[in-house]
Amino acid sequence: MFAIGDFARHGRVSVRMLRHYDAIGLLQPVAVDPETGYRYYEAAQLSRLNRIIALKDLGFTLQQVASVLDEQVSAAELRGMLILRRAELQSQISADTARLTSVEARLLSIEHEASEPAADVVIKRIAPVRVAELTAIAPSYEPESITPVIQPLYHDLFERLAASRIQPCGPGIAYYEDSVASETAVQVHATVTVAAEPGDRHDFHVLDLPELPVAATVIHRGSMDDVMPTGQALARWIDANGYRSLGYPRELTISYTGNRDEMVTELQAPIARTKQTDRRGHE
Amino acid sequence: MFAIGDFARHGRVSVRMLRHYDAIGLLQPVAVDPETGYRYYEAAQLSRLNRIIALKDLGFTLQQVASVLDEQVSAAELRGMLILRRAELQSQISADTARLTSVEARLLSIEHEASEPAADVVIKRIAPVRVAELTAIAPSYEPESITPVIQPLYHDLFERLAASRIQPCGPGIAYYEDSVASETAVQVHATVTVAAEPGDRHDFHVLDLPELPVAATVIHRGSMDDVMPTGQALARWIDANGYRSLGYPRELTISYTGNRDEMVTELQAPIARTKQTDRRGHE
DNA sequence: TTGCTCCTCACGTCACGTGAGGTGGC
DNA sequence: TTGCTCCTCACGTCACGTGAGGTGGC
């Protein structure tokens, strides 16, 4: 028989933990003095304590530990719990590995005194959106080539929407694809969020922009004529943080009052982890 | 100007988070209606929100995020925070990798229906202990060889301690080393915890058993004559969980009432991660 | 009038750590 | 009597999620 302090020393846990395990019924002393409330344990209980610690160390909650130890779970259920836990650990590890890469990228940029204020790039999932769209070809991806193409496209789109009595119900989203027209040509898609049936029953196309499961996003302030530095900062961030780009970023207009210099736009670049850093978590 | 719901949608955060950031002064709306309490944000605040999210994603607390954003930390301090964070992430990752290995070991043992009740092995740090000791050579590590050597050794040790008026103040701890006497011979160390000055001023040796920074421990119940299965289960666990043994386990007597069949002993095997699984966290 | 968005409390989370304030046995 | 160990509350942790209960503008 050990008093709680001795038992804690032998089990190398805190007295508070033993009291807690008593309180939740996970490990109860063999005897409690009815007068003083003193708890008494015996050496044989150390093996249960060890089992508790071992399962806890695997990352199970105390509730789960209790149900496993008290044989309220079958072997099949235990297997299920372990498989779930394995998946959790794998994604935890790959998330932490990504964080580590980011921390290291920031450290590097400090060492190089690159003086770039650490880019405020955020990884997000972008949900699918229903939009109305018109498209055209621009000779290159430079803003000077895009602007003269996309502005009349949006003008046209809003007129056709009004004619069809469809109201935009969210932001405009522009996106780009390489065109086969020439080496540098891009297909420009001018779209705006709507609530309407998809299809071509109008003189514009209604479709769902697909989800971007992993996107690197950054806010651009000011005219889209000056978007290149922001886009390049985004590209550098993607590279330095262990990701690779899967295409041109979408441009989501968050705020546009008519003055192009006051525009606020979000660039949303679809990305994936580069193979090297991805391997660990998902084998 | 956005109402809180719109702003939350654009930032892809919850309304509750924005209220929380307001409450702790991390991101305050540009305007609050004094009548209704409605919060209003502007598009330009999205970049601060993004910076908050980015730093939070690196694993910083909101307090740390606040001090970084409000420029209360110098570049050098930021570097220090990042280096600390890197170390935390590294140890987090290697801990999770070890957990993952353990989970996989348990899954394997379930598949093989090995019917061994999952061993209650626990990883602990073993603190250094001051002990009095006597040693002798045994012909092999088998219990049948050890028992006839260690029993008289302990008998002797306790007599000499009594003669020196030194009281044991903790458990007995036996440990073993390979001997050069023969291929199989081992040096048997019979020790017991004492509070005394180290050295050889008595007819026994007083020394400090070194810390075991990482030890795999298991409880053995019953006579030490039957310790082999427990020891082998421990060895299998060490192997299956991505560790390697660094020597014979210590045997710490937790409970001994005079009846050898009722003994409770803890085996403490010094271990280290095998190189393959260790590499990641500590480069 | 019905929805919708907004508001302010305030509890719950998970596994204890950390006092506060007090008691029984050597 | 002084230490030591033990006891029972009860608050705090961290970043919100989740109601409860209520209000203003379309």
The answer to whether residue B212 neighbours chain A at the CB level (below 8 Å) is no
Q: Which of residues 29-88 of A touch strand D (CB under 7 A)?
A: 36-39
Look at A54 and B121 and tell me if their CB atoms are within 8 Å: yes
pLDDT at A130: 92
Look at B123 and A255 and tell me if their CB atoms are within 8 Å: no
**Percent of chain A predicted with pLDDT > 90:** 67
Contact, B63 vs B81, CB < 8 A?
A: no
pLDDT at A12: 92
User: pLDDT tens, B230-274?
Assistant: 998 999 889 888 899 999 999 999 988 888 898 999 999 999 988
**Higher pLDDT among residues A29 and A236, named by residue:** A29
Calculate how close chain B gets to A204, using CA atoms only, in Å: 26
Q: Which nucleotides of C are covered by protein (CB under 7 A)?
A: 5-8, 14-18, 24-25
Look at B96 and A100 and tell me if their CB atoms are within 8 Å: no
Instruction: Reply yes or no on whether the pLDDT at A281 is more than 50.
Output: no
User: pLDDT tens, B118-151?
Assistant: 668 899 999 999 999 999 999 999 999 999 999 9
Q: How many residues does chain B have?
A: 283
CA distance B235 to B244: 9
Report residue A75's pLDDT band, with 50, 70 and 90 as the boundaries: confident
Calculate how close chain B gets to A47, using CA atoms only, in Å: 6
pLDDT at B281: 40
Q: Are strands B186-194 and B168-178 parallel, antiparallel or unpaired?
A: antiparallel
pLDDT at B7: 95
CA distance A156 to B30: 35
Look at A110 and B221 and tell me if their CB atoms are within 8 Å: no
pLDDT at B119: 66
Instruction: Reply yes or no on whether the pLDDT at A169 is more than 90.
Output: no
In angstroms, the CA of B21 and the C1' of C9 are apart by 17
pLDDT at A139: 94
Using the C1' atom of nucleotide C6, identify the protein residue whose alpha carbon is closest: B38
Instruction: Reply yes or no on whether the pLDDT at A111 is more than 90.
Output: no
Show which of residues 51-110 on chain B sit within 8 Å of chain A, judged by CB atoms: 51, 53-54, 57-59, 75, 78-79, 82-83, 85-86, 89-90, 92-93, 96-97, 99-100, 102-104, 106-107, 110
For residue A46, list chain B residues with Cβ-Cβ distance below 8 A.
Answer: 219, 254, 264, 266
pLDDT at A140: 92
Calculate how close chain A gets to B201, using CA atoms only, in Å: 30
For residue A97, list chain B residues with Cβ-Cβ distance below 8 A.
Answer: 93
Look at B58 and A103 and tell me if their CB atoms are within 8 Å: yes
Look at B219 and A50 and tell me if their CB atoms are within 8 Å: yes
Sign of CA dihedral B112, B114, B115, B117: negative
Average pLDDT over residues A84-104: 92
Instruction: Reply yes or no on whether the pLDDT at B277 is more than 60.
Output: no
User: pLDDT tens, B74-87?
Assistant: 888 889 999 999 99
Task: Provide φ and ψ at A268, rounded to 5°.
Answer: -125, 100
Encode A200-227 in three state secondary structure: CCCCCEEEEECCEEEEEEEEEECCHHHH
Look at A58 and B93 and tell me if their CB atoms are within 8 Å: no
CA distance B100 to B92: 12
User: pLDDT tens, A41-68?
Assistant: 999 899 999 999 999 999 999 999 999 9
Tokens 């991660």, located at residue: B273
- Round the average pLDDT of chain A to a whole number and report it: 89
Using the C1' atom of nucleotide D18, identify the protein residue whose alpha carbon is closest: B16
User: pLDDT tens, B169-220?
Assistant: 889 999 999 998 888 999 999 999 998 888 778 899 999 999 999 999 999 9
The whole-model pTM stands at 0.80
Average pLDDT over residues A131-145: 94
Contact, B63 vs B73, CB < 8 A?
A: no
Rounded to 5°, angle at Cα A83 from A82 and A89: 85
Taking alpha carbons only, the member of B214, B215, B223 closest to residue B253 is: B223
Q: At what angle do helices B62-69 and B75-111 cross, to 10 degrees?
A: 150
pLDDT at A197: 85
The answer to whether residue B219 neighbours chain A at the CB level (below 8 Å) is yes
Nearest nucleotide to the CA of B52, by C1', is D15
**Higher pLDDT among residues A10 and A118, named by residue:** A10
The H or E element containing residue B277 is helix B275-278
